[in-house]
Structure 1
């Protein structure tokens, strides 16, 4: 006799995959550190006019999302300071970066502090980095989505 199918929750990995796809769809540039086939770390960046949002994924439980002020010599792999960061499970870190207020929003974080060590990518993994840039048209998507969500229809 067959048993009825039980409804199952989506797996942790499918949820993380969905959130990663949302980050890519938001216009982030993706760096596969250690090579494209089996990366040791994944770094995704989104550049605003004066800030950069980014996330460093080492495994599902070791993900750091952050925002830094962008300077002329700023490098995602050696950031010294952040104005916001979140470290934890991929589920929460990816959601946090996706929902972070635009840097020009009055309530956006702006006080600088030392970058957490969890943002650092092992130098050995930087010898081979594959870069995937966003498809044309996606770069402005994040700014438009966040400004519309936080300020209603009035875009700055």
Structure 2
């Protein structure tokens, strides 16, 4: 089954130092629990405002990357995400629209690439190495 990431777009409020409304936190915990119980949630996290421990690195053609510290404009940012494993985009969207954002907000659903999505660019050797790395990550996650 494919994996999808549901991005939460940042807002002026999520980029502020204001603490979230306790009712929203309770609703989000319930939302996450529903996805866990359905067996679709692989990961979920919120991000701190870009004014706290945030850096943007821009790569250029054959030039040293540019490193810029936050804060950044909210319109350019993600404030959180969920990773779900579901049968298709429609199911991912069905979960995304249940998000308990009562005060407004925007999410974006994107499919996460898999080795087969890259065709011949992923040689059999690279595919094998990718599988080994994923197995190593899972082992690390289980022991951590």
TM-score normalised over the length of structure 1 = 0.25
Pair member with larger Rg: 2
